[in-house]
Amino acid sequence: MTASTEPPYYILVSLSSLQHSSGSSSNSLAHANVEYRYADDSPLTLLPRHPDEHVLVLNHDPVKGEIPTVQSTSTHMAMTGVKVSMAPGASTSEDYGRNDNMFVLEVASTSDDHMSIESSHAHLENPQATVARFKQRNAVLRRVFDYPGVGKADDAPLSQSGSRPKSPGRTT
């Protein structure tokens, strides 16, 4: 994997969601619609334009030498990790200035029906559904705190080996 000062060109979103009834998870890959925003742009441009739009913000500033970070502005999605690997076939590209690394943004759905838990009275009335939602949210939180996670042998983690972001309230 080569370092590049260019923003990522190949970006995929890996969405995983836990199914309440079976406890199993499902994964899907999607191409992201990429819109470039700069530090001096209004932050209001990052707000979703309609209720079903989910906005993920990738902060990439190679000049500062910082590791790129990703955040979700949606209450229905949580970032769980970022994997960086060589994009298949990218080395044959004619554009040598392009960043040929593939960024896979790993997100988890916190709601498989895309409704907020607070507004879903049916789930609040059913104790089994409430417990299932509680377990689902805890599973998502565990994945977020394990960020960036362990990649496959051909994938390189975004951060340095052995380093993990500290969560609020943790001393180690």
CATH number for 12: 2.60.270
Q: Which pLDDT tens digit goes with each residue over 80-139?
A: 888 888 877 666 656 666 777 888 888 888 775 544 434 444 444 566 777 777 788 778
For position 164, what pLDDT does the model report? 44
Residue 110 in any domain: the answer is yes
Q: Which pLDDT tens digit goes with each residue over 14-28?
A: 887 655 445 555 677
Residue 144 in any domain: the answer is yes
Q: Tell me, what amino acid is at 20?
A: H
For position 163, what pLDDT does the model report? 42
For position 80, what pLDDT does the model report? 86
Burial of 80 (0-12, 13-18, 19+ CB in 10 A): buried
| E strand or H helix that includes residue 143 | helix 127-145
Residue 159 has pLDDT above 70, yes or no: no
Residue 163 in any domain: the answer is no
Residue 138 in any domain: the answer is yes
Residue 3 in any domain: the answer is no
What is the span of the domain harbouring residue 59? 8-157
Residue 19 in any domain: the answer is yes
Residue 111 in any domain: the answer is yes
Tally of structural domains, the chain? 1
For position 55, what pLDDT does the model report? 87
Residue 120 in any domain: the answer is yes
